[in-house]
Chain A
Amino acid sequence: MEIAYVAVIILFCLGIYTIITKKNLIKIVFGVTIVESSLILLLMLVGYKPDGTAPILDKEYEIVVDPIPQALALTTVVIGGSVTAVMLVMVIKIHRRYRTLNIDEIRKLRG
């Protein structure tokens, strides 16, 4: 169990680190998805119970995992997917206009 939480922390920090330091636009988007997955993993862990089964309300299954985080995780996946899609669209557009993917060269806006 604990090791999973450690993984979440590592993934989260790794993602943030990628977003902040990488210059390549694609890599920045990767960073965003990494953070996203770490959060989804965290959601799963929050609802997890040892030996639990899928949340089906039936007498057969006594230990079920918490259903709410699963619903949340689904929503987060959807949102994350759309955010990533929009970002990638923008990356394509930027590449067409600026002919580069280096974030340091995309700086017409100053001041």
Chain B
Amino acid sequence: MITPGFLYLTGALLLFLPLHERIKYIISFLITTGALIVTFYLIPGYSLQLDFLNYTLVPFKVDSISKLTGLIFAVAGLAAVSYSVNICSLPNLRLIFVFIGSALTVVFSGDLFTLYIFWELMTISSSFLIIMASDFTKKTGYYYFLMHVAGSLSLLWGIFLQYSATGSLSLNAMEAGIPFVLIAIAVKLAFVGFHTWMPLTYSKAPFYVAVVLSIYTTKVGVYVMARLASGINILAYAGLISALFGIVMALRQNQVRKLLSYSIITQVGYMIIGISIGTFEGTSGAMFHLVNHILYKTVLFMAVGVVIYTTGKDEFDNLGIMRKKLPLTSIATLVAIMGISGVPFFNGYMSKTIIKDALHEPLLKLGLDLMSFGTSLMFLKLIYYAFIKNSSMNLVKKPTISMQLGMGLLTVMMLLIGIHPYLLENLTNIHVDINYFDKKHMISGIKPFLWSIAIFILFNKYVVKNYERLLYFDIYRKMGKLFVTTGYVLSNYHDGKLNKYLLWATTTLITLLLLLMF
């Protein structure tokens, strides 16, 4: 059976052939739609076994959660590839294919070994995507790569601990080494304290790279968390803190893509809360939220990408071009913003309602309302710049058709899910017993949004102010400095004096003698 991840990886190999421009489009189209169709017809319960060294690996295993995630990954892959196919260069397209392919394989992996290998492959391909993408992203790519490899090595250590404790590599909730796995996941999903790579990367990388990365990187973290570390109740509070931190930081940004990155941190907070409840409702709410979040956040990144493509920058002022010159993009952006704010009849409302229903602690419920409120507030700022404030921007060039196609596809899906939330449930046979459109849920959904409008109008001048960049303290750079200084000191001992080297040798001999004799 052909797995979707395998399809993408083959696609990457096919792109190595000497290609004509048009064949590039055909291959991309065939692979992406093919993967979508294959994922659509997967039967939950199917699995594939493979003997490798002394282990029995399960490189492919389908159940309802992985099917749901895989499906949205495939849809987003189709959209993202068609969005970026005629902007990016061929090597980058290959890397994008490897990246998407390994993300899909992680989702369908049935054991820790496969999971780790493709998790690492995601890191490698995305880092090279960033490094190769432009001249300004070399250092960013370096930072991103190191950070993610640190995370994945932590995962590897967790896997080793688990393996030596239980002797099996199967993909169940971890029994040993949970802290290490949590660190790995925290890096991947940009948990507060481990998030430093994210605003940096997403604001510096070329916009199509940011689109592709924002779809998969954090979401794979969420998926793996649901697999390996679900139901740790204390983490719900951690998610809440992370989300609130995201809101505060997002409100202070001057660059649209930085705002979007911090808003990812906030949205991931919802998913962390959902997963850490541990119940069926909680987890499925988190997964549905993952689907919805991919839809609207991708559209937002794509819309900002269009703005960058047409005007050259992603300052807030440049957004003003949307209302006048880019009607389709404006509609997509509006739909996405409604979705992310959780307004009823848009897609974000559905998953937020499920998570809120699954919660029982009053403090967390309050926090969730606060999060919705903050999210709405920060996107009102976006709306203000895009549609209310006057601007005198001019189009430099027109957005390409394939860009608008990618965006349009996702917008239509958002609208469908928003109007008919049972669509997702029916598709994957995950049934949550909730009536979405009764009075109680509707009111609790719309309340934070209305509040935020009121606050926005009242405190307009604080929200739309241009804030100075916070001088933030990056502990990872400090640690790097320590490592470099140690190396420098050690290197200075090697000053070329042979006598010194020989003295070291004799000292070693004496030490060895002492150690082994006594």
Contacts and interface: CB of A to CB of B under 8 A. Distances in A.
Interface in A1-52: 16, 19-21, 23, 28
A105 B497 CA distance: 8
Interface of B: 491-492, 494-499, 502-503, 506
Nearest to B495: A110
Majority secondary structure of chain B interface residues (helix, strand, loop or mixed): helix
B502 A110 contact: no
A27 to B, nearest CB: 12
B507 to A, nearest CB: 10
23 contacts: A19-B502, A20-B499, A20-B502, A20-B503, A20-B506, A21-B499, A23-B499, A28-B498, A103-B497, A103-B498, A103-B499, A104-B497, A104-B499, A106-B496, A106-B498, A107-B495, A107-B496, A107-B497, A108-B496, A109-B496, A110-B495, A110-B496, A111-B494
A43 B502 CA distance: 26
Contacts of B496: 106-110
Q: How many A residues are at the interface, by size bracket? A: 10 to 19
Nearest to A17: B506
In this complex, the member of A21, A23, A28, A110 whose beta carbon has the largest number of chain B beta carbons within 10 angstroms is A110
Contacts of B502: 19-20
A76 B304 CA distance: 77
Contacts of A110: 494-496
A46 B65 CA distance: 77
B498 A16 contact: no
A107 B494 CA distance: 10
Given A103-B498, A104-B499, A106-B498, 14 more contacts: A16-B506, A19-B502, A20-B499, A20-B506, A21-B499, A23-B499, A28-B498, A103-B497, A103-B499, A107-B495, A107-B496, A110-B494, A111-B491, A111-B492
Interface in A52-83: none
Contacts of B506: 16, 20
B485 to A, nearest CB: 15
A-B pairs with the 7 shortest C-beta distances?
A: A107-B496, A20-B502, A111-B491, A110-B496, A103-B498, A109-B496, A110-B495
Contacts of B494: 110-111
Interface string A80-104: 0000000000000000000000011
